[in-house]
Structure 1
Amino acid sequence: MNRKQKQLSMFFAAFILTITTMFSGFSTEAEAAEGQLGIDAEAAMLIDADTGRVLYEKNSDVVLGVASMSKMMTEYMVLEAIKQGKLQWDQKVKINEYVYKLSGAPGLSNVGLTQGEDYTVKELYEAMAIHSGNAATVALAEVLSGTEKNHVEKMNKKAAELGLKDYKFVNSSGLNNSDLLGNYPAGSPEEENVMSARSMALLAYRLLQDYPDILKTASVPVLKFRDGREYKNFNWMLPGLIYQYDGVDGLKTGSTDFAGYGFTATAMRNGQRFISVVMKADSKDSRFAETRKIFDYAFSNFTKEELMENNFQIQDKKTLPVTKGKADSVKIQTDKAISMTIRNGEKDQYQPVLVLDKKKLTKDGELTAPIKQGEQVGYLTVKTNNEEKISFLTESGQKEIQVPVVAAESVEKANWFVLAMRGIGGFFGDLFGGAADTVKGWF
């Protein structure tokens, strides 16, 4: 190879290296996290619990088995019924023959229930939420909806109301229908409940937003039941259990042969709460190990920051023009701060975006007096410098980073005389301006 050929070869090598380096920099935050975390599960998510901002996701829209994590829907419906006064914690529920037999079925998670005996809603709820009691869940489904079949219909309806997209409930417990002693309420004999990680995260998010007291029960590591036995919570990351993790106080595990091992968890430290979802992990141990990875990543890399302070003004848009007012402009500013959970050290990667209410503007982009102090004229939101979408589970989450922009002062409407003089001045101004242009045209 001669010198010229060597130079050409080196040029092409450098060119290929440059192109490769350029395109490797275009990975999204989620992709970068995936490479960093290496989550060993079929699907996973990390969510900011305050706003529902998505901080990490893997196969989040793939529909998978959820097993006992689906009990979170019945938990939601119980808490909703309690709030609405349709159910009472001390309300008695008599155990029928089917629920009794299911409570004694081998290989299933249950507490000891006695046929014909009365249990309170609270006792059954604790058995479901702490020890994942399957028969207790069916008993609650029956008291809520008359029959488990009716309850399953309501579960699917409630999922739609909550905004879940990918789901199908065929029973209340999350068991395979084949385990229900021939009494499966919907679907085929071998079917199970399914959801996506995104829908699972949204259900957890809504639970924490709507009924935060759920954590008082979900965080109990050991249930002492009336049969005299103690039942451990299957969330082994709670304090005192074998995979305890600082800050974990919920929510729900699940496992079947079809679903694998799943865990929807939440943890809070120093006022910062996250939600984690792991679906179809290989073992009981690995679902906790992968959840630990996600929470370590969350607490090490993300913090809630104030991006725009209260009374914030965009540098080149501190005022808006005003027509028919005593003043010809008005100061505008936000009426609250914008805060969001972001990656540490990246506060300067976000910039403000002003969106004005077009209905309040004239065709010339002016506000019309009178204008009252505090009157909303639009809103302020934020975007990333690289235009990367800020992803949230819900539209309401998106609105968490939108704050009203208001008039910082009042502008009174000018009286008729002032407006008339302005009109006359404008007329003669236009007249003399036109004459001047004509004269200029002569030369």
Structure 2
Amino acid sequence: MIKYNKWTIGLLSGTVLASTLVAVPEASAAVEPIKVSAEAAFVIDNETNKILLDQNGDESLYIASMTKMIPLYLVHEAVEAGTISWDTPVPVSEYAVAISQNYELSNVPLREDFTYTVKDLYEAMVIYSANGATIAVAELIGGTEHAFVDMMKAKLDEWGITGYSLFNTTGLPNHYADELGNLYPGAPVDEENKMTARGIATVADHLLDDYPEILETAKIEDKIFMEGSGDEIHMMTYNLMLPNQPYAHTGVDGLKTGTTDASGASFAGTAVEEDRRVITVVIGAEDNSVRFGETSRLMDFAFDNFEKVQIAAKGDAVKTEEPLAIAKGKEEEVGLVYSEDVFVVTPNTDEELKVETEMSLNPDLLNEDGQVEAPIEKGTTVGNVTLSIEGDDLGYLDGSQNEAAVAVERTVEKANVFVLAWRWIASTASQGWNTVTDFIGGFFN
């Protein structure tokens, strides 16, 4: 049950407009987390990045084929940039073929004398976690798998992810590459890719935010690879939580499994219920039954114990103690409105909790006196309101915040020189001035 009240907003140092009053819900931060039978578990709300559960989320652990979410992101990025297209032919190296022909591994067998497109191999990566296909696409984009691994690392660094070790594009144990003479420089033969559950959630969040179309492929449960080619292979999904699978859960439409002896049974999952999407991560479960069963528990926990609450609509006034002061304007102040609908994700119990907000102005819009200057057009975004739940120890993913943009409610034109002069005279006269130079200098500033 959500109650509404008004709370005084805290102040930020520097570019803060004022202490603010807004309508916010009261709820409880004290949702008892569940214990998951795995080495680590992590749950976030995809839209707001609110962390809903963190069980050992910052320990670097083996991630197996969940690694492939990073190459998948880079494939989408390359297509978007025009570097490649979905129809681009993919040459297949001797190394990619050798990995693909290993029937101990998840693969679609490849041939050097056959033409595959990016789309063909992308589908094999998503649906069937195909290792050789991943290497072939990585070599197309990066030149070599090792160069592509460096691109993956750069992307993780860009996202602020720490605590990772990446040696290949697939998540396979390094000895497979070593046996074929393709070990990443300096990589230990007896190691595998590692990342934290928080890091995996961050990768999944970026993938779903930037390229949600991946779900159209991720929700495919079976498909013929290279149908009609004479090299047909029946690909069956490893995501056994999709609608027709043994561990089906309502709303699941992705995302990526991972399994090696070191990683155990791991899974980055996602599900949608009404207008909410959650991302779950389980690392190091015992087997399929545990990884999918625990993922199901995590999804139920997220949907049953938390709710998304709208606390303002686009165009609603931002209630402030004082309007925004405008320098050199025909009007000396202007009200603010929200530039977008504003939501928070809160526990859905009856206990009371304050949702606090802080508002800061965009420093790029401020003059040397820390003021916004006219002219300024209606709808110009001048800052952000940050929302946080009092007493919440989990916060938001990787230090991000739940923010809403705010804009000026109307246009404020610049005042003419006579108005500005009169204002300056009135202001200076109240303080006194000593010289004509002060007067002239102040007039023209």
Above 0.5 in TM-score?
A: yes
What SS class does the counterpart of residue 234 from structure 1 fall into? Answer: coil
| Aligned amino acid, residue 201 of structure 1 | A
State the partner residue of 1:214. Answer: 214
CA contact (8 A) 2:377 2:408 kept: no
For residues 420 and 122 of structure 2, the distance between their equivalents in structure 1, rounded to whole angstroms, comes to: 72
State the partner residue of 1:436. Answer: none
| Aligned amino acid, residue 194 of structure 2 | V
- CA-based RMSD: 3.4
Q: 1:280 to 1:424 in 2, by over 3 A?
A: closer
Q: 1:193 to 1:274 in 2, by over 3 A?
A: same
2:408 is equivalent to residue 406 of structure 1: yes
For residues 173 and 423 of structure 2, the distance between their equivalents in structure 1, rounded to whole angstroms, comes to: 82
For residues 221 and 369 of structure 1, the distance between their equivalents in structure 2, rounded to whole angstroms, comes to: 57
For residues 431 and 322 of structure 2, the distance between their equivalents in structure 1, rounded to whole angstroms, comes to: 29
State the partner residue of 2:249. Answer: 245
Q: 1:265 to 1:413 in 2, by over 3 A?
A: same
Q: 1:153 to 1:296 in 2, by over 3 A?
A: same
State the partner residue of 1:44. Answer: 41
2:75 is equivalent to residue 78 of structure 1: yes
2:272 is equivalent to residue 275 of structure 1: no
- Give runs of aligned pairs for residues 250-269 of structure 1, distance below 5 A: 250-269=254-273
- Give runs of aligned pairs for residues 36-435 of structure 1, distance below 5 A: 36-180=33-177, 181-186=179-184, 187-226=187-226, 227-313=231-317, 317-320=321-324, 330-344=334-348, 349-356=354-361, 360=366, 373-374=378-379, 378-386=383-391, 388=392, 391-393=395-397, 397-398=400-401, 400-408=402-410, 410=412, 413=415, 416=418, 420=422, 423=425
What SS class does the counterpart of residue 168 from structure 1 fall into? Answer: coil
For residues 75 and 140 of structure 1, the distance between their equivalents in structure 2, rounded to whole angstroms, comes to: 9
Q: Which runs of 5+ in 1 are unaligned?
A: 1-27, 431-443
| Aligned amino acid, residue 153 of structure 1 | D
Q: 1:185 to 1:351 in 2, by over 3 A?
A: same
Q: Which runs of 5+ in 2 are unaligned?
A: 1-27, 433-445
1:307 Cα deviation after fit: 1.7
How many residue pairs get aligned? The number is 396
| Aligned amino acid, residue 213 of structure 2 | D
For residues 371 and 140 of structure 2, the distance between their equivalents in structure 1, rounded to whole angstroms, comes to: 60
Greater helix fraction, Structure 1 or Structure 2: 1
For residues 305 and 280 of structure 1, the distance between their equivalents in structure 2, rounded to whole angstroms, comes to: 34
For residues 223 and 273 of structure 1, the distance between their equivalents in structure 2, rounded to whole angstroms, comes to: 26
| Aligned amino acid, residue 70 of structure 1 | T
What SS class does the counterpart of residue 179 from structure 1 fall into? Answer: helix
Give the TM-score taking structure 2 as reference length: 0.77
1:110 Cα deviation after fit: 1.5
Task: Encode CA deviations 1:98-146: one digit per residue, 9 max, x unaligned.
Answer: 3333223242112233353332222222222111111222222222222
Q: 1:415 to 1:407 in 2, by over 3 A?
A: farther
For residues 86 and 381 of structure 2, the distance between their equivalents in structure 1, rounded to whole angstroms, comes to: 45
| Aligned amino acid, residue 290 of structure 2 | S
Task: Encode CA deviations 1:9-46: one digit per residue, 9 max, x unaligned.
Answer: xxxxxxxxxxxxxxxxxxx95xx55x541111111111
| Aligned amino acid, residue 337 of structure 1 | D
Task: Encode CA deviations 1:195-234: one digit per residue, 9 max, x unaligned.
Answer: 1111111111111112111111111111312334422111
| Aligned amino acid, residue 296 of structure 2 | R
For residues 344 and 277 of structure 1, the distance between their equivalents in structure 2, rounded to whole angstroms, comes to: 22
Task: Encode CA deviations 1:150-200: one digit per residue, 9 max, x unaligned.
Answer: 222222222223332221211111111123433343112111111111111
CA contact (8 A) 2:65 2:170 kept: yes
> Percent identity between the aligned chains?
34
What SS class does the counterpart of residue 168 from structure 2 fall into? Answer: coil
Q: 1:147 to 1:309 in 2, by over 3 A?
A: closer
What SS class does the counterpart of residue 281 from structure 2 fall into? Answer: strand
Give the TM-score taking structure 1 as reference length: 0.78
Structure showing greater radius of gyration is 1
For residues 88 and 252 of structure 1, the distance between their equivalents in structure 2, rounded to whole angstroms, comes to: 23
What SS class does the counterpart of residue 397 from structure 2 fall into? Answer: coil
Bigger drift between 98-107 and 367-376 goes to: 367-376
